[in-house]
Amino acid sequence: MGGLLRRADFRRLFGVRLTGQFGDGVFQAALAGSVLFNPDRQTEPVAVAFGFAVLLLPYSLLGPFTGILLDRYPRRNVLVWANVTRSVVLVGVAAVLWAGGRTWPFLLLALIAVAVNRFILGGLSAGMPHVARNRELITANAFSPTAGTVVLTIGVGAAVGLRSVVDAGDLGYAVVLLVASAAYLISAVLAGRFPVAALGPDRDDPTARLETVGSVVRGMVAGVRHLSERRAAAFALLTVGLGRIGFGVTTLALLLLYRNTLDGGGMFPSGDTGLGQVVLATGLGAGLAALVTPGVVRRISRRTWMTALLILLAVVWPVIVAVPTTAVVVAVALVGGWASQGIKIIVDAAVQSEVDDVYRGRVFALYDMLFNVCVVTGLLIAAFGLPDSGRSWPVFLGLGVGHLVLAAWVARWTDRLGWSRVSAVTPPARVFFDSSGREPGPD
């Protein structure tokens, strides 16, 4: 790692990532907070679901196509102008918010800012081989995105702190958005310090192939056909996709509970602070799953463990309605994060072991799309099916029954698909970037 940090070009690209992802954290906190906890707006659940669609769908829908731009034009220029674009757009978002404009125009402008970010992340990944030697790429691609995620979290915290100082309404969130805009502008300036051709593409490479929209679409269709021939991988993707619908339902339910229903105090408050505890508990559960799942699956079959985790989710989600207290919700989030991530680890391993290497990038792009589209589907189901309180026995009992049906499906069909003949799960090795420059798979 020390050798990488001594390289000026790596430090510069690293700085572009850190400043941009700090802005991402500030922006995402302002977007979520202005929709959910803004006293100047009583946002309806459908608008909340649309807000999450703004954050999730551009990444998956644009991902396969970013390579077209990144392989045709200097990536340094893409990084500069994409950052400038989202900086300017955020000024517009702040102006709409400051003027007390309606939620829909605000979210549509935010959609543009988030969509542009897909090209920036792709450019950072595609440019990495130009600032790190081949033997350093694994370290560079492990270190840089992880540090970016940490800085994004710091940006979220900075946004919450700044909003509490300036104002709790539209004015406060507009100021926070201007801070994010400034961070993006700094990222553009840092990217502009590279020579134009420094990050590629390599024009003198005779093997370079400039893809068109049609070729990308044909490649994705080929990936779907390959999945249809690898039923175990297709089954795994379908299972995790259906589970993500439940995740979308519970996400919106928790947001409504913390905004409108729960009365917290002491160690487990309500409001945006309590919701932050839920996010932390979910992340902690996911971390525990990464530690526990490989050892468990070495002792029992992946079918047995996945079935058990689905049954666990069927049991714990209705507890939110039965005992609606902040302490219980945090505990359920911990268990839910652990079980959901355990299922995802098994699915990742199944896909990686079943899919031919030449199709793996395209299949993970499909995985990304399915993952986020199913989350948004769950959010929309919750938006139309949940009351403003977030508490609904029919919805949560339906969620429990759905997970039980999914568990029975896994127990019934996985042996027929050959899962028992696949080697034990290990923490999935991820390809850090592919030819299109996209960062792989949903997180």
Give the residue from 197, 215, 238 where a domain finishes.
Answer: 197
Considering only residues 16 and 229, tell me which one the structure prediction assigns the higher pLDDT. Answer: 16
Among 83-92, 271-280, 308-317, the least confident range: 271-280
Give residue 8's pLDDT. Answer: 92
The DSSP annotation for 359-397 comes to HHHHHHHHHHHHHHHHHHHHHHHHHHHS-TTS--HHHHH
Kindly tell me the sign of the dihedral angle through the C-alpha atoms of 144, 370, 354, 357: negative
Tell me, what DSSP letter sits at residue 390? S
- Residue 205 maps to a domain: no
Q: Is the pLDDT of residue 150 over 70?
A: yes
Provide the total of helices (H) and of strands (E) in the chain, helices listed first: 16, 0
186 and 245 belong to one structural domain: no
SS3 of residue 118 by DSSP: helix
Considering only residues 306 and 138, tell me which one the structure prediction assigns the higher pLDDT. Answer: 306
255 and 165 belong to one structural domain: no
Give residue 433's pLDDT. Answer: 31
Give the pLDDT confidence of 355-373 residue by residue, as tens digits: 786 677 677 777 778 888 8
Give residue 292's pLDDT. Answer: 86
> What letter represents residue 110's amino acid?
A
Give the pLDDT confidence of 152-165 residue by residue, as tens digits: 878 887 887 887 78
179 and 241 belong to one structural domain: no
- Residue 434 maps to a domain: no
- Residue 303 maps to a domain: yes
Among 18-32, 264-278, 378-392, the least confident range: 264-278
Phi, psi of 265 (to 5 degrees): -175, 160
**Among 233, 294, 238, 240, CA closest to 417:** 233
Kindly tell me the sign of the dihedral angle through the C-alpha atoms of 9, 13, 18, 19: positive
- Residue 236 maps to a domain: yes
Q: Is the pLDDT of residue 52 over 70?
A: yes
244 and 361 belong to one structural domain: yes
Domain hosting 157: range is 2-197
Distance CA 209, CA 87 (A): 32
- Residue 168 maps to a domain: yes
| Percentage with pLDDT > 70 across the chain | 83
190 and 244 belong to one structural domain: no
Mean pLDDT over 106-128 rounds to 82
313 and 192 belong to one structural domain: no
Give residue 141's pLDDT. Answer: 66
270 and 141 belong to one structural domain: no
Give residue 17's pLDDT. Answer: 95
Mean pLDDT over 177-201 rounds to 95
Give residue 266's pLDDT. Answer: 76
Distance CA 311, CA 19 (A): 42
Contact 186, 323 (CB under 8 A): no
Cα within 13 Å of Cα(404), Cβ side: 11
Distance CA 131, CA 147 (A): 17
Contact 308, 256 (CB under 8 A): no
Among 39-53, 160-174, 393-407, the least confident range: 39-53
- Residue 217 maps to a domain: no
Average pLDDT, the chain: 80
240 and 381 belong to one structural domain: yes
412 and 365 belong to one structural domain: yes
Distance CA 75, CA 68 (A): 11
182 and 90 belong to one structural domain: yes
Contact 41, 170 (CB under 8 A): yes
Give residue 432's pLDDT. Answer: 30
Contact 320, 333 (CB under 8 A): no
91 and 23 belong to one structural domain: yes
Q: Is the pLDDT of residue 425 over 70?
A: no
147 and 25 belong to one structural domain: yes
Contact 176, 162 (CB under 8 A): yes
**42: which residues sit within 8 A by CB, 6+ positions away?**
none
Residue found by looking up tokens 């995790």 in the block? 240
Give residue 402's pLDDT. Answer: 93
Tell me how many domains the chain contains: 2
CATH number at residue 48: 1.20.1250.20
- Residue 100 maps to a domain: yes
- Residue 430 maps to a domain: no
> Which of 48-52, 108-112, 202-206 ranks highest by mean pLDDT?
108-112
- Kindly indicate the confidence band of residue 321, based on its pLDDT and cuts at 50, 70 and 90: very high
> What letter represents residue 230's amino acid?
R
Distance CA 192, CA 286 (A): 38
